[in-house]
Chains A and B, each alone.
Chain A
Amino acid sequence: MIGTPVLRLSEVGKGFHGTTVLDGVSLDVPQGQFVALVGPSGAGKSTLLRLVNGMHLPDSGTVRTLGENPAACSRSRLRALRARVGFVFQQFGLVGRLSALENVLMGSLATLRLPRYGVMSYPRALRIRAVEHLDRVGLADRRFQRCDTLSGGQQQRVAVARTLLQSPELILADEPVASLDPAASTLVLDILKRISAEDGISVVCSLHQVELALATADRIVALRGGRLVLDEPAAGLTAERLREIYDTAGARDG
C-alpha cells in the first residue's frame, strides 16, 4: 500500500537573516496519510509547509515533493508542481469581492493559458466541476454569493473547494482552522479528512488544537525551535502527553 513517499524532507535547514528557523528536519509522508503538524508559535511550521511547494527554498538538505525537487525546478516546472499541490491558508486567500464559484474556478488557472476574469471566462466543463466541488464542501447553493459575505468557516470551505479543483496529490494546510470557531473548525477538518480518506490524498496540516489534531490525524509530528521533537501515530498518543510536550516546548522557547 505505501509506495514511494509523496513528500520526503531530508535534513532540511532554513534560516532568515542569520536566524535558524528549521534545523535538520527529516520527514517522509506516504500517500494517503493525514499528518498533523503541531508546535508552539514560531516553531517553524509555516516555514516547513512553504518549503514543500517551493514558496521558500531550503538552505541545506533536500526537499522532494511528488518526486520533484522544488529548488532545482525551472519556473514553468515549479508552476506545474504547484498545480499538483494544494495549499490552504489560515486567512483563506480568497478575493472577497468575487463569487464563491469564481474563487473556486481560480484553482484551475494552471491548466489554462490566458488570464481570466469573471465566471464566464472559464470553460463550461470547469464550471461544472467547480460546482461539484462546492457541493462537496456543502456550499453549492452559495455559488454566486460574494465571498466577503460568507462566514469564516464557509470561506475556508470555498478555499478547500478551490484546492480540490486543482486535483491535488498532496494538500498542505497552514492552520486552516485557527480563525474559526469550534464547530466550523470541526467541519473543515472533517472535510479535509474525508477527502484524504476517499481520494487517497496526503494532507499535511499545521494545527494548534491538540484535541483536534488527535481526533483527525493519522500521525502527529511536533516541531519545537525548528527541530522535530515527536513523530508518532496518533492512535498511541494521549492529549495529556501531547499537551505536555507542547507546553514544555512553549515554556522553553517562549
Chain B
Amino acid sequence: MSGTASTLEPLFSFVTSSYAALETNFFKIPGSAVVARYVKSSHQNDPGRTLLEVILIIFAVRTLLQSRTRADHSGKHFIQFNEQEIDDLVDEWSPEPLAQPLSAQEKADLASVPVIVGPTGPKPKLSTGKTVTNLASYNFAGLAGNSVIKERAIDTLRKYGLGSCGPPGFYGTQDVHIQLEKDIADFLGTEAAIIYSQAFSTISSVIPAFCKRGDVIVADRGVNFAIQKGLQISRCTVRWYDHNDMESLEQVLESVEKERRKKKGPLTRRFIVTEGIFDHDGAMSDLPKLVELKEKYKYRLILDESVSFGSIGRTGRGLTELYNVPASQVDMLVGSIANGLSSCGGFCAGSSVVVNHQRINGTSFVFSAAMPAMLSVAASEGINILRSTPSILSTLHDNVRAVRAVLDRVDCIAIPSHPASAIIHLTIRWPAPATLQAPPAGASPGKPSNPLSVLPRDAPQFDVELEERLLQDVVDEALAQGVLVTRARRLRGQELVEARPSVRLAVSAALTRKECEKAANVVKTAFVKVLGKRR
C-alpha cells in the first residue's frame, strides 16, 4: 500500500503543482474572476447543476468543432470495415464513365448547329459558303456591326487593353463600368444599376442574393432556365402560378397570405419572379397588373427583361416604357446587355439599396472578373444610339408586324408569342382534336393548379421527339432557301416544365421590311412543306 503511495507521490505533486499553475494563469485572464465566482456560487447552490453545465459546455464545444462535412462514424448507417475489406471494396468499385458518348441523334443535333464565318449580322455567311438572311441571332436594334460602336470599342481597347484582370472588388472596377451602370440606370429611370459579366449568370445570382431559406417566392410556371437555377440555389419556399395568368397569381398570393396568417409566422421577404417577355414562348407579362398585385400583397417584383430590354417600347427600354410604368416600381429589373445591346453581360437595375446589396452578395458579381472595358463601352454606346434614334425601334416593330402578318394565319403554325414580341416562337399546330390541347392560359375553369408543384394541372401533351424532328426539318428547309432560323434549344429533361418545341425567330431592325416578309414566307413555305407531307 505504502509502495503504491510512494510511486504515486510524484504524480500527486505534479497534479497539485500544475493545478496551482493553472489557477494562477487562469486568474491572469481578464474576466476570469467573474467566471470563477459564478461557478463557485452555482456549485454552492446545487452541485448537480455544475455537472449539468459542464456537460452542456462540452456538448456545445463538441458540436461546434464537429465539422458538418466530417464523417458521422457514429451514425447508425456507418459500417465498420477493416483495412483489407476496404481495399477489396476499392478494387471492386467500378465507376460509370464520366460521360456517355453521344447517340446518333445527338450527334446529328450537334452537327446541325450553324457556323457563321465572319461577322454575324442581318446577312451572315455560313460555313457552307451560303449567305443567308438571319432570323436566328439576337440583334434586335441592329447594333451588331455598327461602325460607331466599333470605333469606340477600339479606342477603348487602346486605352484599357482587353480584360479587366480582376473581380470588381479587387481593382476590376473601371470607370467605364461605373459609366455603363449609370447609363443603364438613367436609361431606365432607376436609382442605380449593377452589371454582371454574363447575362445567364445575372438572374441566377440576383435571386439568391436576396432570397434566403424561409423566404417566399411566387414564380411563373414558364420562367426561363436561369431563373429556375436561381430559385434552386436560393433554397427558399417557391409557389407557382399558371404561366402568365394574373388570376392564378392572385389566387396564389392569397393562399400564401392565408397560410401565413394561419401559421402566425414572422414576416418574411416575399418576391414575385417572372419575365417581361418569356424566353420560352414569347408571351408578355401584364406589367401594370403585376405591379398592382405586388403592391396589394406587399411583394417585391423581380422582373427578367432579358428579351424585352432593347426590343420593346419606343426606344427599347422594355416593358416599363411600353406600359408607362415607372421602372422604380420594379424592385429588381434584370436585363441582358448581350441580347439587348449586342455586347456581353447582364444588369440588374433598382434602388441603390438593392444594387449595393448585390455588390457584396451577388455571387457571380463578387467572384468573377469584371466585363472587358471595350464591351462595356460598346454597351454604353448602344444605349446612346437607342436613345437618340427612336426610328430603330419603330423599324423593328414594323418588321415584327410584317413577319407576323405572314405567319399569323397559317394552318400548321401556332404562335404563343405576343404580337409585339421581337422573338417569335412557332410551334406546330396539329389538325383537329389536337388543337384543343393548348387552351389559352387561364381559360380552364374548375380547380386551379397546385401552387406547390411546378407542374400545371392539365399540362398540354406533346411528343417532344417527334416535334423536334419535324421542326429541325423546317429549319433545314428554310436554310436551304437562304433563311437562317433556329429551333429553340432546350435542355430536355432538365427544365422544370418541358417547353413546347418551337422554331424561334429573332427579328432585327437591320433587315428591311421586304426582307423580313420574304424570309417569313420562306419559313411559312418550309412549315407547310414539312408538315403538309404528314397530312
Do A and B come from the same complex? Answer: no
Question: B residues engaging A (CB < 8 A)?
Answer: none
Q: Interface of A with B (CB < 8 Å)?
A: none
